[in-house]
Copies of this chain bind each other. A is one copy, B any other.
Amino acid sequence: MKLFKPRFFRRVLKAGLPPGTLVHIGERKLENVRITYIDYDQDNFQEKQVSDIEECFKFKNTSTVTWINIDGLHEVSLIERLGAEYELHPLILEDILSTVQRPKFEEYEKNIFIVLKMLSYDDENQMILSEQVSLVLGSNFVLSFQETTGDVFDPIRERIRNSKGRIRKAGADYLMYALLDAVVDSYFSILEKLGEKIELLEKQLLSQPSDETLEQIHSLKREMIYLRRCIWPLRELISGLQRCEASLISDSTGLYLRDTYDHTIQVIDTVESFRDMTSGMIDLYLSSLSNKMNVVMKVLTIIATIFIPLTFIAGIYGMNFKYMPELEWGWGYPLVLLVMLIIVVCMLTYFRRKKWI
């Protein structure tokens, strides 16, 4: 069983620094930072991986939608330059770099800032892995920041390249919605994994529960506690987005956000159902323990209850008294055996009636 350690905070490192200080908090998961941009409107499309962040700045004042994606957060100066160019508030930059954020939505004067958790399931360790994704929406750009490469955004890139759906026709707000929606959609596969695990554990519980089963239920519960922490804030996040008065989000995108909100509710509902199921499984486990004990005790009781009286009778006739008339009888021995047999039969009848055998 894995212990939960590495998944909570390490904010501690930063205690005492002035707010707005840019320090990367979290594991360095990549060798090099990877910068890509996609710039498009209905008619034009450019996509490139660049090594210098400055290359992306040329789109700043164009009317096209620019999506700059950065994988790897350890190069603080790069983030800083990007922030300076796009006039991001220092608190945004700080939050991007600190990978222990709670999912949240914040409205700034010129930007909307979103922090999310992108989750994946590590089958080997039976553990949910999480990566922090930050999105910044401006009037004509979306900046996305991830801890490592590999994400759920590829289908969106594909849609932009192929001009599938309405994405090329819509603005930056629709792009941000699409990214958000991709992350929420990916949660369903985590739920599917957990659902399978619950199903498996339930089968085990009903056939042959063991110590290990309980440990697995316990570990499952902890994964669920973690999942809740990642998912619950989303509800508030998206409804905040919907209510936000910034002109950055158009009405038509609002309709799509409502859809994402529904999915989030569905995810939360499912997690809550899973929690209910898991606690039911612990009841099942504990009562299976009691049942086992009952079986063991019954065996002991049946054996002891049958043989202890018989042994006593044998003990009687093993006494060395001079004058024990029964010992002299010719039919004494078979008679005693008969009596014992009768006792056994009575006992067995009694147990059968009590439904113990």
Contacts and interface: CB of A to CB of B under 8 A. Distances in A.
A150 interface: no
A199 B300 contact: no
Interface in A245-298: 255-256, 258-259, 262-263, 265-266, 269-270, 273, 276-277, 280, 282-287, 289-298
Residue of A9, A198, A214, A327 contacting most chain B CB atoms (<10 Å): A9
A299 B308 CA distance: 13
A124 interface: no
Report copies per complex. Answer: 5
Residue of A4, A164, A167, A321 contacting most chain B CB atoms (<10 Å): A321
A222 B277 contact: yes
A235 to B, nearest CB: 13
Contacts of A155: 15-17
A309 interface: yes
Contact of A314 (B152, B198, B215, B315): B315
Contacts of A221: 276, 280
12 contacts: A4-B277, A20-B166, A89-B255, A100-B266, A226-B273, A282-B283, A297-B301, A304-B308, A314-B318, A319-B320, A319-B336, A322-B328
Nearest to A193: B12
Contacts of A263: 11
A206 interface: yes
Contacts of A203: 3
A319 to B, nearest CB: 4
A21 interface: yes
B323 A332 contact: yes
A255 B95 CA distance: 13
A287 B286 contact: yes
Contacts of A292: 294
B199 A3 contact: yes
A61 interface: no
Range class of the A interface residue count: 35 or more
Nearest to A282: B283
Contacts of A322: 327-330, 332
Contacts of A305: 299-300, 303
Nearest to A189: B12
Interface in A135-171: 152, 154-156, 159, 164-167
Contacts of A311: 307-308, 311-312, 315
Interface stretch (A29-37, A43-51, A62-70, A180-188): A180-188
A333 B319 contact: yes
Contact of A290 (B19, B206, B273, B289): B289
A188 to B, nearest CB: 4
